[in-house]
Structure 1
Amino acid sequence: MSAITIEGLVKEYSTTTAVRDFDLKIKRGEVFGFLGPNGAGKSTIIDLLLGFREPTDGEISILGHNPEDSPYTVRKHIGVLPDNYSLYDHLTGREHVEYATQIGEFDIKPKSILERVGLEGEGDQRAKGYSKGMRQRLALGIALVGNPEILILDEPTTGIDPNGVQEFQAIINQESNNGTTVFFSSHSLEQVQAVCDRIGIIDAGELLTVSKIDELRKSLNRDSTLVLTVDTVPDNHGLLDLNHVNNVSETDTTLRIDCTDPSAKSSVINCVETAGATVTDINVENASLADLFEKVTNGGYRE
């Protein structure tokens, strides 16, 4: 059984359709990255998963439960770190966790939660003195109270410095290793790329693609870019006639060749040298998730 199953999901409002024909399955223990521009429908999907909104059509299953029919059962299995969370500045980190355990009637020691999010040494400090990264980790700790099987994280690393981001990513990886399913909604493409097993890209309420990043590169014919510095760019290099080359751009002394297979490197260099140029430098740039995201959302890509 999948952790999350969505079939034919539609959410309509009086004048707009926020989600249309949305299908998705997320495996147990998977870290799933959910990406999309502002207003794409990411927050609506999260609200539907949590039972905060009712779908117009379609089905949602969370560990075999429908959030519309059994919202409280579903929420017992889910820990949530919302985008707009707030803390009580006058309470300590430990008191926040204690309060969460009391509200949820969970039998768990606050110390163990603070240790899981790296705040065991700061648990008796008031939240007012916490850095942004520490506040974010405390909020994650509160989401972990009750040992949820699914974590839903909405923009979890916004405003955190690079060290804080790395600490947060390490926690996510550890929770995933322990079997927790993570639904990671974010604008930060680099951070999604660092921790996620697969990604889904949504735009205008439609799920455009679900894929591993490497597979998405191949499906978009964009694996890497070979950058050649030459003494002069030959007029008739013939690079586009080669297998696994799908785009070439050039300046006076540089050729940028988009390749779909690393094995094309030697044939590209041979082709350029045969055309009369001398290659003085070679660099390989792998397509980043940002490149792929731009191509999917701006290029009309549909699976």
Structure 2
Amino acid sequence: MEPQLAISVRGLRKAYGGVDAVAGVDLDVRRGEVFALLGPNGAGKTTTVEILEGYRQRDAGEVRVLDADPATAGQDWRTRVGIVLQGTGEFDELTVREVVSHFAGFYPAPDDPDKVIERVGLTAKARARTHSLSGGQRRRLDVALGIIGQPELLFLDEPTTGFDPEARREFWELIRDLAAAGTTIVLTTHYLDEAESLADRVGVIAGGRLIEVATPDRLGDREAALATVSWRTPDGGWQRRESATPTALVAELAARFDGEVPGLTVTRPTLEDVYLRMIGHR
């Protein structure tokens, strides 16, 4: 395994009842990067991640995660990996601090529980029993339990489900802080703006196959796509034109309107547009 890689996968396969859920995936994730794995439900995304986490056995292929095979790695390896599932569990009668402190005892060199609680924005709720937390606050607690062991590699499964827009943005800052500190992060999400904002690279999986891996701005040749230029016409209507040279078109319009072009917008396909095209949706 190359030293700059946190994850290396070759020919990964997993079938259920004779149907391939993962059909020959090759994937590299570099140390220190934020990697987003995108795909519709049933595409093989969850199975792939569970194999990387060591929770599911593969049928074939080579998998190395932090220089070990997750299928046979021991407890020392598991203390280097953090996992935030879609739901960690219920601890209704314990306070936030009690839960985080309890989980800290599972690791040889845990972070300070109060520091972790502060990082996830739960300081004001540290003495509150977990049954009193809102959905977003429970999700923050899940994240706290995932990072209390100071993992080298962190798996985040739909981490901001149930968050309001402000809480999502605050959580994004936490992810950026973790990445800046050197944590490798593998993120699964259905929020395309989240992947675009956080990920250094994204991979799209569909039908058990990895279709493409690229930076968000280059996925599906996005940077080369035609731009759509829209403007308001003198009669109050709208006109739109696709162009490979939008700057030249805008200059032409500016001359035509003698300066300011009314209602001018210039857009290129969003990451969501590209993603939906790649997985076969209109």
- Structures share a fold, TM > 0.5? yes
CA distance in 2, matches of 1:105, 1:220: 46
1:226 counterpart residue number? 229
Q: 2:228, 2:267 within 8 Å by CA — same for their partners in 1?
A: yes
Sort the Cα spacing of 1:299 and 1:220 in 2 relative to 1 into closer, same or farther, 3 A. Answer: farther
C-alpha offsets along residues 28-65 of structure 1, whole Å, 9 cap, x if unaligned?
11111111111111110111001222211111111111
2:44 counterpart residue number? 41
Q: 1:222, 1:259 within 8 Å by CA — same for their partners in 2?
A: no
Q: 1:50, 1:71 within 8 Å by CA — same for their partners in 2?
A: no
SS of match in other structure, 1:3: strand
2:16 counterpart residue number? 13
CA distance in 2, matches of 1:15, 1:27: 32
2:269 counterpart residue number? 287
CA distance in 1, matches of 2:249, 2:20: 49
2:239 counterpart residue number? 255
Q: 2:110, 2:150 within 8 Å by CA — same for their partners in 1?
A: no
User: 1:148 pairs with 134, 145, 151, which one?
Assistant: 151
User: 2:93 pairs with 90, 93, 118, which one?
Assistant: 90
Sort the Cα spacing of 1:270 and 1:128 in 2 relative to 1 into closer, same or farther, 3 A. Answer: same
Sort the Cα spacing of 1:258 and 1:127 in 2 relative to 1 into closer, same or farther, 3 A. Answer: farther
CA distance in 2, matches of 1:12, 1:161: 37
Deviation at 1:273, TM superposition (A): 8.5
For this pair of structures, how many residues does the alignment match? 275
C-alpha offsets along residues 154-193 of structure 1, whole Å, 9 cap, x if unaligned?
0111111111111111110100010001111011111111
Task: Provide structure 1 residue ranges, at least 5 long, that are not aligned to the other structure.
Answer: 233-251
Deviation at 1:285, TM superposition (A): 2.1
Q: 1:197, 1:212 within 8 Å by CA — same for their partners in 2?
A: yes
Task: Provide structure 2 residue ranges, at least 5 long, that are not aligned to the other structure.
Answer: none
Are positions 1:264 and 2:246 aligned together? Answer: yes
C-alpha offsets along residues 58-84 of structure 1, whole Å, 9 cap, x if unaligned?
111111111122153432221011013
2:66 counterpart residue number? 63
1:52 counterpart residue number? 55
TM-score of the pair, normalised by structure 1: 0.83
User: 1:76 pairs with 48, 54, 79, which one?
Assistant: 79
TM-score of the pair, normalised by structure 2: 0.88
Are positions 1:296 and 2:278 aligned together? Answer: yes
CA distance in 1, matches of 2:248, 2:110: 62
CA distance in 2, matches of 1:77, 1:103: 12
5 Å-filtered alignment, 1:202-217, equals 202-216=205-219
1:240 counterpart residue number? none
CA distance in 2, matches of 1:200, 1:136: 24
CA distance in 2, matches of 1:71, 1:155: 26
Sort the Cα spacing of 1:32 and 1:224 in 2 relative to 1 into closer, same or farther, 3 A. Answer: farther
Deviation at 1:253, TM superposition (A): 4.1
C-alpha offsets along residues 110-162 of structure 1, whole Å, 9 cap, x if unaligned?
11211221222321111112122221111111111110001100011111111
